[in-house]
Amino acid sequence: MTSLNPPARVDVVEVAPRDGFQSIQAPLPTQDKQRCIQALVDAGVTRLEIGSFVSPRAIPQMADTGELVAAFAERPELRLSALVPNLKGAELALDHGIREVVYVVSVSEAHNRSNVRRGVDESLEDLGRVIARLRESEGTRLRLDLGTSFDCPFDGTVSWQQVDRVLDKALTLVGELPVEVAMCDTTGRASPYQVADHFTRLRERHARPGLEWAFHGHDTFGMGVANALFAIHHGATAVDTACAGLGGCPFAPGATGNTATEDLLYALQGGGVVTGIDLPRLLAAADLIADLPGGQTASHLRTVPRERVS
């Protein structure tokens, strides 16, 4: 019998400003986004994926990411990141003051083509160039988002060996550079034991100083909190969630929002895990986010009487 002792600390990475906002089709005024982000920061969120530097034609909602970065880049307590699909995105991110670049490549060829419109090998080639660029930029960080690490909306279940093939190539490019590798359950179809298995196998193969692990999940199949906890107990030190469960992936049919930050926080708080985030204040931010026109949210904690959340 294993005893699941809670970890001392988990980094909760708030992705509502990226994965969440981009799921909303109608344009959102930048100042509304900024108000939501401010509410998240007021709740104690420090790691924020604030947007993405992608073609505004592909995802118009992300066109104001630079403005949002400018509004928050001067806060020394914040660790802002932005998602990029290619070298151009990485350069734009760095030019706008982003110090943590989230480079996304899907394990599944079909999803990578749908998501960033090129093959996995092309994405990896560009990753090499991004890494070269990051080596020249002191104080920058690399986060590698491995999309469809468990399941692909087009090709179904993804094995750990498939993840390993992409990760292995990527880590060869990364070399000795510090990196956070996120296995992303893009569709929410991963199950807890699959998450445990992938983390166990890949950490065994690729453990080294400076390599940290993260999990990015969706709650579509109701596994969100369980998957996150299983990832944490198998070595993930950071988990991506979206406040209010806002979101989905416009390129993954059927996917609903990221696991709600408040749901995961509730689970972690019950074990005394330090996240730095204040749950009642986060719920206030969730209320703001849930009021955004056109957003789909999926939060359990917002449905219970507020005085019961403590």
Residues that bind a copy of itself (CB under 8 A): 1-4, 6, 187, 189-194, 196, 200, 219-226, 229-230, 233-235, 254, 256, 260, 263, 266-267, 269-273, 299-301, 303-305, 308
Question: Nearest approach, Cβ of 233 to a copy of itself (angstroms)?
Answer: 6
DSSP line for 164-216: HHHHHHHHHHHTTS-EEEEEE-TTS---HHHHHHHHHHHHHHH--TTEEEEEE
Residue partners of 168: CB distance under 8 A and separation at least 6? 205, 206
Whose Cβ is closer to a copy of itself: residue 34's or residue 191's?
Answer: 191
Residue 110 to residues 106, 148, 248: CA-CA distances in angstroms? 9, 10, 18
CA 59 – CA 249 distance, rounded (Å) = 11
Nearer to a copy of itself, 57 or 308 (CB): 308
Q: Closest approach of Cβ 96 to a copy of itself, in Å?
A: 35
Catalytic-role residue among 36, 152, 243, 249: 249
Residue 184 is a catalytic residue = no
For a copy of itself, give the closer residue by CB, 130 or 249.
249
Nearest to a copy of itself of 206, 300 (CB atom): 300
Q: How far is the CB of 234 from a copy of itself (least distance, A)?
A: 7
Using CA atoms, how far apart are residues 270 and 246, in angstroms rounded to an integer? 23
In angstroms, give the least distance from the CB of 203 to a copy of itself: 8
Interacting residues of 262 by C-beta distance below 8 A, sequence separation 6+: 243, 244, 279, 282, 283, 286, 299, 301, 302, 309
In the DSSP assignment, the letter for residue 94 is: H
Write out the catalytic residue numbers: 249
